[in-house]
Structure 1
């Protein structure tokens, strides 16, 4: 079992309850990363389902949980021949922190009938890492994964944002681990907020995030392509497309978040 598997482990207590322990290693300056929290919830939801894969997840982030013990409560809604539906709630100290609606099914690895080509991305040898965060920053998430960025999309580090909400990077776990649906849950929320490239700074809390598992990923690096369509009234959207090492679309997400103050 890898460190990530342990950090997202859900232990069944009864038919509708799972104990989890939220790991402090997935923090972003204090709050825990939303993709990591979704992976925790999905472990419980898939265990409680007759199907193997979380093909659609919608999560409402009501309150930021803290590292430590919590529970995931699963309420089955309907199960058919090809898909099952459930409500999953992350509860800490008796309070709901995340409400999720999860559809599970079993993907069989069929070849796509149609697939839109991916956007161009420079080779990994042309991409760069972000500087390591200072220990006092509380940015422990960075140590759990490797990200190699398309240089223009991190121009904001030097005060040279592109002016467009965008972020593009190669992704893999820092510990040797091939991507699976739970790694993809982390990956869709692993990029810096796309508003950084548009000139904003500061923590940008996710309010709602929906993501779809489109295929089981091939081994190797993932490619994350992030963009936004509108920044207005203190809100922004962020869409992320995830391609595997074979170039296949394996996940796609959209989230609504608040523009940070920094």
Structure 2
């Protein structure tokens, strides 16, 4: 079991309840990363489902849970021959922290009937990409140590005061500990990059309000490519779409989230 597997483990208490322990290693300046929280909830939801894979997840982030004990409450809504629907709630100290609607199925590994092989943006080779500087120990940015991100340089111009002016973020992704990507790693990956609004000139914590992502295929071993973009920044809100491709270039996950523009 890898460190990430342990950090997202859900222990079954009864048919509808799972004990979890939220890991402080997945924090962003204090709050825990939303993708990490989804991975925790999905462990419980899939265990409660007759199918193996979380093919669609919609999460609403009600509060910012802290590291430590929590539980996941799962309600089975409907199950058919190929698809099951569940509701899952992350609860801490008696209060709901996150609500999820999860659709599960079992994906095969055969060739697609149709696939768009052209990503929305061609990444430079990894040797031309850059890492963000290590955060200061007092910053509470522990998430960085759990994964490796190599960024397309134009998308992190905000770091030196030269944002591109477009909401965008692109990077190669892999876990810091050797681990092939799986659906739970993909849940983390879709929310792993800095907010795309940074490249549009905004700064500060940008809390996610609602995030929906789809598992499109089981990823091949190796690094992932994350391509993020936004369409509108307006009235304190922005949207962010992320496309995830595996080491073979196949589309394996898609996400869209609505978030608040942070205050620097």
Pair in the same fold by TM > 0.5 = yes
Confirm or deny that 1:214 pairs with 2:216.
Answer: yes
Deviation at 1:179, TM superposition (A): 0.2
The more displaced of 32-41 and 110-119 is 110-119
Deviation at 1:257, TM superposition (A): 0.2
1:25 & 1:109 partners in 2: Cα distance? Answer: 33
1:96 & 1:64 partners in 2: Cα distance? Answer: 10
SS in 2 for 1:6: helix
Q: What residue number does 2:122 align with?
A: 120
Confirm or deny that 1:200 pairs with 2:179.
Answer: no
The C-alpha deviation readout for 1:144-187, integer Å capped at 9, x for no partner, is 00000000000000100000000000000000001000000000
Aligned 1:1-262 pairs, distance under 5 A: 1-116=1-116, 117-118=118-119, 119-262=121-264
The C-alpha deviation readout for 1:40-81, integer Å capped at 9, x for no partner, is 000000000000000000000000100000000000000000
SS in 1 for 2:38: helix
Residue ranges of structure 2 left out of the alignment (5+ in a row): none
1:128 & 1:233 partners in 2: Cα distance? Answer: 32
2:184 & 2:144 partners in 1: Cα distance? Answer: 17
1:222 & 1:8 partners in 2: Cα distance? Answer: 20
SS in 1 for 2:13: strand
TM-score by length of 2: 0.99
1:109 & 1:233 partners in 2: Cα distance? Answer: 43
SS in 1 for 2:197: helix
1:157 & 1:73 partners in 2: Cα distance? Answer: 40
SS in 2 for 1:216: coil
What stretches of structure 1 move > 3 A for 4+ residues in a row?
Answer: none
The more displaced of 116-125 and 95-104 is 116-125
1:255 & 1:109 partners in 2: Cα distance? Answer: 28
1:33 & 1:111 partners in 2: Cα distance? Answer: 33
Equivalent pairs counted in the alignment come to 262
SS in 2 for 1:14: coil
The C-alpha deviation readout for 1:91-112, integer Å capped at 9, x for no partner, is 0001101000000000001212
TM-score by length of 1: 0.99
Deviation at 1:113, TM superposition (A): 1.7
RMSD: 0.4
